[in-house]
Chains A and B, each alone.
Chain A
Amino acid sequence: MISIQNVRKSFGDLEVLKGISLDVNKGEVLSIIGGSGSGKSTLLYCINAIETIQSGKIIVDDIDVHNPSTNQDKLRQKLGMVFQQWNSFPHLTVLENAALAPRIVKGLSKDEALSIAEKELIHVGLGDKFDMYPTKMSGGQQQRLAIARALAMKPDYMLFDEITSALDPELVGEVLDTLRMLREDGMTMICVTHEIAFARDVSDNVAFFNQGVIEEMGTPDQVINNPQKETTRKFLSKVLS
């Protein structure tokens, strides 16, 4: 499980996370919604130690993420992450993109790494693109490649940082369908997203972030269908209109 305990994070004088606490249990899907600058993406970056924190604790399966003695490279193998920008490796084919980390990070043989990569690519619907270079593919396909590339490391958790925000509207569906499929597979996920309908359908819990604090958290029915706070209602009416 991922346990976030009273986490504070600042960039210079600007405090972007003001004491965040939440838990995500194995097999759960948490969606984080909120306006830009609310700190929701920063929290993801802190969970896999791309960003440091000022105080508080983040525990991933008994590992204290920001303890200096923690091997963060090793930790990141448990935490797959997909970003707004898909960041496909342009010098490698689709298959090599997904096989690179299993081979060099986990030290698998080339054949083992390739067979894992093939499996994950087929899973996300890219079974006919193995030898293509990612720059020739659509944004939606590249984003699915990024998901397969992360899954090939067999992570225990997946972190998604607004992965449909940079996509053309007609490509959003295929990426969200891939996430729905992961949900069916039982993957534990934290999704920072602007897709409110998706968050409502797929999540066990939804957290609404506002200016670095969790304004409201609960089931989608509570937070999205029956928001208690004025700020939540305002935000939802803006994004749903």
Chain B
Amino acid sequence: MGSFFTPLSWNDSGFILTGVMNTITISLVAIIAGTLLGLVVGFIRSEANKAANTALGAVLDILRSVPLIIQLILFTTYIGAMGHPLDPFVAGSIVLSLYTMAFMAEVFRGGFDSVHGSMITAARSLGMTYWQAVRYVQFPISLRAIFPSWLGVALSVIKDSALVSVIGYMELLRTSEQLISRTQQPLEILIGVGVFYFIISYPLSLYGKYVERKMAV
């Protein structure tokens, strides 16, 4: 009598690889979209007056304070109930990107604020327009300074992307859950998944520390 459960085999590698690729895809989408949106919002935060900043800050606070898993479920359920069911990849990308944006915005804002106003005045006194001073002086100086924090947010997004499994996106964690229910080998599979996240994250965080040290000198 054959077992109902079939053990893990090399035939599963294609399935696992799909999960790996999906995790990488949605992480990249969220990091890129979150970075671009965060750059814009962070710049507005750094330049805007107090009233606009309070309103914008409130939205960002909500995005950063409500657990990602709740945002994912709320968004997907609400959009579905409105009669516009979204593909899990699309819904997950939107929520994860906005979540990333909320953190990136504060990183960028801190970076822009760290460039002293007198530096911009000096650039303007050379005849640069406002946007030339932003593009050639304020941005390059602050973007270098924030690189380590930017990398930190990007790394946590890769790990947080595992939560998108709750809305049905076939990323690494969800593929492994399915494999576990078939093979009943949770230990091997979960250790493997953990090792994968470690292999991606650890070298990047080492690189971030290296850059930080180099800039501190």
Q: Chain B residues with Cβ under 8 A from A146's Cβ?
A: 122
**B130 (CB) vs chain A CBs: closest residue:** A73
Q: Chain B residues with Cβ under 8 A from A150's Cβ?
A: 125-126
Is A122 interfacial (CB 8 A cutoff)? Answer: no
Cβ contact within 8 Å between B126 and A76: yes
Is A1 interfacial (CB 8 A cutoff)? Answer: no
Q: Chain B residues with Cβ under 8 A from A91's Cβ?
A: 140-141, 144
Cβ contact within 8 Å between B125 and A81: yes
Cβ contact within 8 Å between B141 and A85: no
Q: How far is the CA of A100 from the CA of B123 in the complex (A)?
A: 10
**A101 (CB) vs chain B CBs: closest residue:** B126
Interface string of B102-123 (1 = CB under 8 A from A): 0000000000000010110111
**B135 (CB) vs chain A CBs: closest residue:** A104
Number of interface residues of A (CB under 8 A): 24
Is B151 interfacial (CB 8 A cutoff)? Answer: no
Cβ contact within 8 Å between B125 and A90: no
Nearest CB of A to B217, in Å: 10
Nearest CB of B to A179, in Å: 17
Cβ contact within 8 Å between A105 and B127: yes
Q: Chain A residues with Cβ under 8 A from B123's Cβ?
A: 89, 101
Is A50 interfacial (CB 8 A cutoff)? Answer: yes
Is B132 interfacial (CB 8 A cutoff)? Answer: yes
Cβ contact within 8 Å between A83 and B124: no
Q: Chain B residues with Cβ under 8 A from A48's Cβ?
A: 125
Q: How far is the CA of A76 from the CA of B141 in the complex (A)?
A: 23
Is A87 interfacial (CB 8 A cutoff)? Answer: yes
Residue from the list A83, A104, A153 in contact with B122, Cβ < 8 A? A83
Is B134 interfacial (CB 8 A cutoff)? Answer: no
Interface residues of A in 128-149 (CB under 8 A from B): 146, 149
Cβ contact within 8 Å between B126 and A149: yes
Is B198 interfacial (CB 8 A cutoff)? Answer: no
Is B156 interfacial (CB 8 A cutoff)? Answer: no
Is B146 interfacial (CB 8 A cutoff)? Answer: no
Is A205 interfacial (CB 8 A cutoff)? Answer: no
Is A77 interfacial (CB 8 A cutoff)? Answer: yes
Residue from the list A80, A85, A89, A104 in contact with B132, Cβ < 8 A? A104
Cβ contact within 8 Å between A77 and B118: no
Is A238 interfacial (CB 8 A cutoff)? Answer: no
Q: Chain B residues with Cβ under 8 A from A80's Cβ?
A: 125-126
Is A229 interfacial (CB 8 A cutoff)? Answer: no
**B126 (CB) vs chain A CBs: closest residue:** A101
Is A74 interfacial (CB 8 A cutoff)? Answer: yes
Cβ contact within 8 Å between B141 and A105: no
Cβ contact within 8 Å between A101 and B140: no
Is B155 interfacial (CB 8 A cutoff)? Answer: no
Cβ contact within 8 Å between A104 and B136: yes
Q: A91-B140, A105-B132 are in contact. Are A50 and B126 (CB under 8 A)?
A: no
Q: Chain A residues with Cβ under 8 A from B116's Cβ?
A: 85, 87
**B142 (CB) vs chain A CBs: closest residue:** A91
Q: How far is the CA of A74 from the CA of B128 in the complex (A)?
A: 9
Q: How far is the CA of A74 from the CA of B123 in the complex (A)?
A: 13
Cβ contact within 8 Å between A90 and B128: no
Cβ contact within 8 Å between A101 and B122: no
Interface residues of A in 52-104 (CB under 8 A from B): 73-74, 76-77, 79-81, 83, 85, 87, 89-91, 100-101, 104
Cβ contact within 8 Å between A104 and B128: yes
Q: How far is the CA of A101 from the CA of B129 in the complex (A)?
A: 11
Nearest CB of B to A23, in Å: 22
Contacts A73-B129, A83-B118, A101-B126 known; 19 new A-B pairs at CB < 8 A:
A50-B121, A73-B127, A73-B128, A74-B127, A76-B126, A77-B127, A81-B122, A83-B125, A85-B116, A85-B118, A87-B118, A91-B140, A91-B144, A104-B132, A104-B136, A105-B127, A105-B128, A105-B132, A153-B126
Of the A-B pairs whose beta carbons lie under 8 Å apart in the complex, a sample of 23, sorted by A's number, is A73-B124, A73-B127, A76-B127, A77-B126, A80-B125, A81-B125, A83-B121, A83-B122, A87-B121, A87-B122, A89-B119, A89-B137, A91-B140, A91-B141, A91-B144, A100-B136, A101-B123, A101-B126, A104-B128, A104-B132, A105-B126, A146-B122, A153-B126
The 9 tightest CB contacts between A and B, nearest first, are: A87-B122, A101-B126, A77-B127, A81-B125, A105-B127, A76-B127, A91-B140, A87-B119, A73-B129
